[in-house]
Structure 1
Amino acid sequence: MADHNPAELTRLSVEDLLSFPALQLRVLAGESGLRRSVSWAHVSELEDPTPWLLGAEVIMTTGLAVPRAAARQRAYLERLDDAGVSALALSAQLHTPPLHRSFLLAAEERGMPVLEVPLAVPFIAVAQEVAAAVREDEGERLGAQLQVFGALRWLAAESLDTPALFRRLEQLSGYEVFLCTPQGRPLLPGVPVPDLSVLPDSVDAPPTIPGGFALPVPAPGGPAGFLVAFERAGARPAGFAVVQHIATVAALQLARVRHERETLRREGAETLAELLQDVLDPAAARRRLLRLSIQGETVLLVLRGVGDEQLLHHLDEYPHLLLNRGDDRYLLGAPELGAAVAGIHGVAAGMSRPFPPGESLRVAQREALWAVSKAAESGRSLIRYGSDTTGRWLPDDPAVLGALVEHVLGEVLRYDAAHDSQLLVSVRTWMERDRRTEVAAEALHVHPNTLAYRLRRFAALTGRDLGSTEAFAEVWLALRAAGQLGLTD
């Protein structure tokens, strides 16, 4: 059902037309909608004239456009109402078929006025009366249009941000403005998203919707989204041309915002590369991060199995630094990034423990790399370093960790390297699966007897009986240390 606001577009309403003695109009149905505003009166003998309508028209017909069947009659009226037509005027005693009860009931339910025009009154008389009344309002509308067309000058002269710019456009145009991507996400910061049910099925659909307009926002390569403009209660909407211009302003503002984001992304990638190389002193790093909106507790994430476009789509609302290194994506930002990343289909992500901004990333990088390898191995989307209740007690000092690994696993590491064997990964997989040999063998794609041989060989090389609680604990901690140092996949 169309949502018409009374007397917004012009001073003229359907009720005013009924008061003109020369027109002799009579209401057949839909009397509750007489306060609908009228912008134009036009003759149409098409059963579906809606692609050529802008809303607030009085459609006049000799009756040729009105179908004979009850269902089609009702659909005809509903179609006009959905397109924002103010009233349907039927010429008496010409070609109008008998009006079915369902047609008249629909008019009453929707408050869609159906008028009868006497045979003695030509349609041109109705059109002239409407044109004369509307003309009085044109000067005021033109003033609003000229101010809206000056939006780009305000943007340059007053440095308006996006929300302030669109608030001013709303005030001058008489419309409430919404913007969204084709998927219904926010298109510009600070501009609300419309009810998605009003979006057109395609960019080529007619712009008129109940109570306003919906039209595409142009962009290189195809529309970036949609602008929806609804008439504001108590306002004087300035017309379709102004809404088109607002869509153009939205496109230009979107291009500017995207350019600024791309500039910040490049600066962010350079900063993250320098942080990973440890070439920035903490004070300079903090200043850079603050300029890039990174403050408070920070985490480093390493991601695999995700493309840039997919990643940026999920991170659009979060300040972050992003750097590509081979197949890995390094991501720096607030801890909330973890939840955003975890929702990406097919991703494997590892996240470091939180640390103060500007601190060296040496430890955080080891933590994130270890966590991402565990995520990829386990099929989980996100592993947070430190969630392992035993690994959290290991020291951060690489020298201490290296000594533990060498003391417990040194011989096994050298054996695996010399023989291209899988002793270390086999023992780790067996331990992670609570020493269930058949389950671990299935995960390794080997026979249980093969795994049992590898466990015996590991015990012989390390001199540690894995059936002993003390030896098991020592090997488990050494494996965690090797993971932190990046010695295991």
Structure 2
Amino acid sequence: MAKSLTIGDLVASPVLGTRMHSGASGLNRSVLWAHSCELQDPGRWLQPHELLMTVGMCIPAGSDAQRAFIADLDEAGLAGIAIGDHGFAPPLTRALAEESDERGFPVLLTERQTPFVALSRMVASFGAEEQSMGVLRLAKLYNVAGRRELAEKRSGRPLAELFSTSVTVVDDETGCVVIGDGAVAPASGRRRPLRTLRPTHLLLENDEFLDGLSLVHLSQVLEVDANELLQAAVDHVERGEEVLARSLASRADAGHALTERWGVERPGYQVMVTECEVAARVPLRLALDDSPAVCGQMGGRQVVAVPVAAVKGVRLRLDELGLVVGGSAVHHDEGDLGGAIEEAVSEYLFAKARGQRWREFRGERLSLLGRSRSERTHIVQSVLGPLAGEDPKMTALRETLFAFLDHDQQWNDTARAQNLHRQSVAYRLNRVEELTGRSVRRTQHLAEFWLARTAWEQFALERGK
């Protein structure tokens, strides 16, 4: 591959009358093309590694505006800016130079007698070989694009190898990688918006020799691929939500819905529960993996029902996402889905309270925990009494009691978890004893408190309906 022309080559040329104003640490930036532009927001009209040439009409006045102007050009991936000395540019501020120096974004000053076409011709002649190679790469791009399997579209590797760069397409809302490696892409990096059915962007690394024309055609191929993958994923998520809703609405319908979804008669399955700041991240990520998992939202938490054969893969993906997860026992009766969700919620709360990433339900659930809504309501109201209400004072007392139980009756751990002084915890628990008629020091009463605490989560969800 031919050596790329650099900003330093332009400055060093004795015939171009161009000198460095600021951003000298960017002398080695590659220049693949040069364009003249006087429109506002010129970064929209140029491609990465292209030099903006201007008489200054597109440069805003004022320190803050010029600092933002340089930042926008750099984040668009431009090689630099050459400003002609024609008297149209506003005074260049110290802020502009500081931003340029900090980013290593070259700001060049070109003498009045030097026509911009001289800069353009030097760039064009220097990159003639690379331009020819670029045309050949475009021909190969469409040849490769027409012969890929679905897995190759998802990985993006054939295109990455063709352009000697990593190719990553990211869903804007969730950060999920639609095309490329990994589960969720980093927030940093140069982004190029793509036109897809969900807002996405392209992240590129090591794109030194990726000219604007190649980038446009590569983006078009990736938009087609991303739309195909996203449409399948969105349909997958919607079908899963429908199956979960049907299964929870009717015990008789649950078996049919899950069996139809998984294609297995009476499959063993496990339920996982987690929380994610971005609600759509878990279902979209699993759908992009073509996982058989069925996902849905309950009480602000993400519920994932997974056939046993796929449990390991889903656990690894949720761990990769950095989530705290609670898992139910393995169930074989699809009608037990509601009970499996309760188990997973309980284990999730345990794991979260104790700083664990994963906790799985072991053993059989006692019948005293309540298999029906009426039983759960009776347990909660009979044990907690006024603490089951919605008054903020009662809520505070109830949360302190639950924290005390979650932390194995450790007073100091409870105080830290509640961000309270130890004496405040003692005061609140004394009030709990007064209002409920039960003592946190008696084993029998602790057992009753724990049963109520276990039934509370589902009770609260049902009460909110």
Query: TM class, shorter-chain normalised?
Result: 0.5 to 0.7
| Counterparts of 1:244 and 1:170, CA distance in 2 | 14
AA partner of residue 166 (structure 2): E
Closer, same or farther in 2 for the Cα pair 1:240/1:174, shift >3 Å? farther
Alpha-carbon deviations, 1:96-139, whole Å to 9, x = none? 45544333333322222222322322122222222223332122
Corresponding position: 1:194 with 2:185: yes
Corresponding position: 1:173 with 2:173: no
Structure 1, gaps ≥5 residues long = 1-6, 199-208, 303-307, 324-328, 342-349, 375-382, 395-421, 444-471, 477-482, 484-488
From 217, 232, 236, give the equivalent of 1:241. Answer: 217
- Provide the aligned length of Structure 1 versus Structure 2: 355
Residue 22 of structure 2 contacts residue 107 of structure 2 at CA under 8 Å; is this kept in 1?
Answer: yes
Shift of 1:427: 7.0
| Counterparts of 2:378 and 2:174, CA distance in 1 | 49
C-alpha RMSD over aligned residues: 5.7
Residue 14 of structure 1 contacts residue 37 of structure 1 at CA under 8 Å; is this kept in 2?
Answer: yes
In structure 1, what is the equivalent of residue 193 of structure 2?
215
Residue 157 of structure 2 contacts residue 180 of structure 2 at CA under 8 Å; is this kept in 1?
Answer: no
In structure 2, what is the equivalent of residue 28 of structure 1?
21
Residue 179 of structure 1 contacts residue 225 of structure 1 at CA under 8 Å; is this kept in 2?
Answer: no
TM-score by length of 2: 0.56
In structure 1, what is the equivalent of residue 200 of structure 2?
226
| Counterparts of 1:65 and 1:430, CA distance in 2 | 69
Closer, same or farther in 2 for the Cα pair 1:312/1:67, shift >3 Å? closer
Closer, same or farther in 2 for the Cα pair 1:226/1:151, shift >3 Å? farther
Residue 36 of structure 1 contacts residue 86 of structure 1 at CA under 8 Å; is this kept in 2?
Answer: yes
Q: How does 1:44-193 map to 2 (within 5 A)?
A: 44-46=37-39, 48-67=41-60, 69-92=62-85, 94-155=87-148, 158=149, 160-164=151-155, 166-188=156-178, 191-192=181-182, 193=184
Shift of 1:263: 8.6
Residue 328 of structure 2 contacts residue 340 of structure 2 at CA under 8 Å; is this kept in 1?
Answer: yes
Corresponding position: 1:254 with 2:230: yes
Closer, same or farther in 2 for the Cα pair 1:173/1:263, shift >3 Å? farther
AA partner of residue 100 (structure 2): A
| Counterparts of 1:71 and 1:442, CA distance in 2 | 53
Q: Percent identity?
A: 22
From 263, 269, 278, give the equivalent of 1:298. Answer: 269
Closer, same or farther in 2 for the Cα pair 1:391/1:315, shift >3 Å? farther
| Counterparts of 1:96 and 1:440, CA distance in 2 | 70
Shift of 1:44: 2.8
Structure 2, gaps ≥5 residues long = 274-278, 297-302, 319-325, 347-359, 391-443, 449-454, 456-461
Residue 28 of structure 1 contacts residue 113 of structure 1 at CA under 8 Å; is this kept in 2?
Answer: yes
Residue 272 of structure 1 contacts residue 332 of structure 1 at CA under 8 Å; is this kept in 2?
Answer: no
Residue 38 of structure 1 contacts residue 57 of structure 1 at CA under 8 Å; is this kept in 2?
Answer: yes
Q: Which has the larger radius of gyration?
A: 1
Closer, same or farther in 2 for the Cα pair 1:389/1:163, shift >3 Å? same
| Counterparts of 2:195 and 2:45, CA distance in 1 | 20
From 21, 34, 40, give the equivalent of 1:41. Answer: 34
